[in-house]
Structure 1
Amino acid sequence: MKNIEPHIEIVVAVSQNGVIGREGDMPWRLSADLKRFKALTIGKPVIMGRKTFESIGKALPNRLNIVITRDADWHADDVMRVGSIGAAVYLALAHLESAEPDPDDLEAPLPDEICIIGGGQIYAQAINMAHTLYVTHVLAEIDGDTHFPEIDENLWLEVSSEDVPKSDKDSVETRFVIYERKSAE
C-alpha cells in the first residue's frame, strides 16, 4: 500500500436556486460542462448514488465507477456497489493505492483524487469530507426536485472563476468556479 492521502473533489452543476436535478435527470443542456466533467473525472474513481448512475445509464469509461445503494441485490456492469459513502471512499482509496504507473510514462503522477458526482443525498453526505468543489454555476433559477447543499463562505474559498458564454449547444449561461476548503486557523 502506498499510503495515499486522498483528495476528495465534488463535481456538480447547480442553478442559482440550488437545483441539480429534476425527475431523475439534469434540467439543462450544457455542452461545455460535460466536457469539463469528463476532463475533471477521467482516470479517477467516481462515486455516485444509484439514481445518478441510472440517469447516466452505464458506467463511465476510463474511471472506477462506485455506486452507493442500500439495495444489496442491485448490480450493474462495470461498477462496484457499496452501501455507504464511507465504504465508497475506502474502496476508491484502495483502488488509488494499488494503481500502477503507466509503463509508457513512468514520470506521470498517479492520481490521488476521488470524485463525488451526485446526486443530492450523496453530495449532502460528502460535502463535509470534500477538499475541492468544482461547481458549474447555472446562471438561472431552474425548477427541480434535487438540490445541492449551500456552499458556506465561512468554509469555502473561491480560488478560480470563469464565465462561460452560452453556445448553441447550451440551454443557459454558466460560470465555472473552483472552491477550496479553508484551513482551520
Structure 2
Amino acid sequence: MLTLIAAASENNALGKDNDLVWHLPDDFKRFKALTSGHFIIMGRKTFESFPKPLPNRTHVIITRQKDYDVPEGCIVVNSLKKAIEVCPENEEIFIIGGGQIYKQSIEIADKIELTRVHTTVEADAFFPEIDEDVWEVIQSEYHPKDEKHKYDFTYLTFVKR
C-alpha cells in the first residue's frame, strides 16, 4: 500500500526554503507513530532538511545526482518508479515529500494521511489538490490550537473511492 503523508495548510502549502512553516508537536508524534518500522520515500531536498536520518525507518531518496552520498542504511534511486521497486511488496510504504514527489505519486497512491493546518501561509512547496471525485475522507480528527500548537489542525485520512 502506498500512502502519502503530509501536513499542508488551507492553500496546500507544505514549506518554504526547505523547511516547515509551522511547529506542531502532536503532528510530529503522529508522523513518527505511522511511519516507524516502514520504508519512507522522499526527494533529496526533503532528506537534506533532516538533521540526520529518522530512526526506525528505511529512507529511500530520489535524486538525479550521480554518486549522491548518504549514510549507511539509506537507499538512493533516480526515479519514483525505482523507489517503489526497492520497497518490500505487501507492506505500507510512505511518501513523505516534497511537493514534486507528492505530485508524481498522488495518482498511484492508495491512501493519504493529511494533517490540514487551518491557516494560509506563503510557501514554495505545495501538496497537490485532492480530487474529491477520486478521494474520500474516511477519518477526521480536529485539534484546536493550544500552548504547544499555534494553529488549529485536522488529521484527515483519505482513500480512493
TM-score calculated relative to the size of structure 2: 0.96
Q: 2: CA distance between counterparts of 1:171 and 1:29? A: 8
**1:87 correspondence with 2:82:** yes
Q: 2: CA distance between counterparts of 1:85 and 1:29? A: 28
Q: Match of 2:155, SS? A: strand
Residues 17-76 of structure 1: CA deviation (Å, up to 9, x unaligned): 110011110000001100010011010100000000011132111111100000012121
Q: 2: CA distance between counterparts of 1:24 and 1:75? A: 19
Identity %, equivalent residues: 41
Q: Aligned pair count?
A: 160
**1:140 correspondence with 2:134:** no
Residues 114-156 of structure 1: CA deviation (Å, up to 9, x unaligned): 0000000100011011000000000000111111100000100
Q: 2: CA distance between counterparts of 1:118 and 1:32? A: 19
Q: How does 1:31-180 map to 2 (within 5 A)?
A: 31-77=25-71, 78-92=73-87, 96-97=88-89, 112-180=91-159
Q: Match of 2:157, SS? A: strand
Q: Match of 1:161, SS? A: strand
Q: 2: CA distance between counterparts of 1:167 and 1:50? A: 33
Q: 2: CA distance between counterparts of 1:171 and 1:25? A: 17
State which structure, 1 or 2, has the greater radius of gyration over its C-alpha atoms. 1
Residues 88-132 of structure 1: CA deviation (Å, up to 9, x unaligned): 00001xxx25xxxxxxxxxxxxx7100000000100011011000
Gaps of 5+ in 1: 1-6, 98-110
Gaps of 5+ in 2: none
Structure 1 stretches of at least 4 aligned residues deviating more than 3 Å after TM superposition: none
Q: Which has the higher strand share?
A: 2
**1:22 correspondence with 2:16:** yes
TM-score calculated relative to the size of structure 1: 0.84
- Report the RMSD for the aligned CA atoms in angstroms: 1.0
Q: 2: CA distance between counterparts of 1:47 and 1:167? A: 31
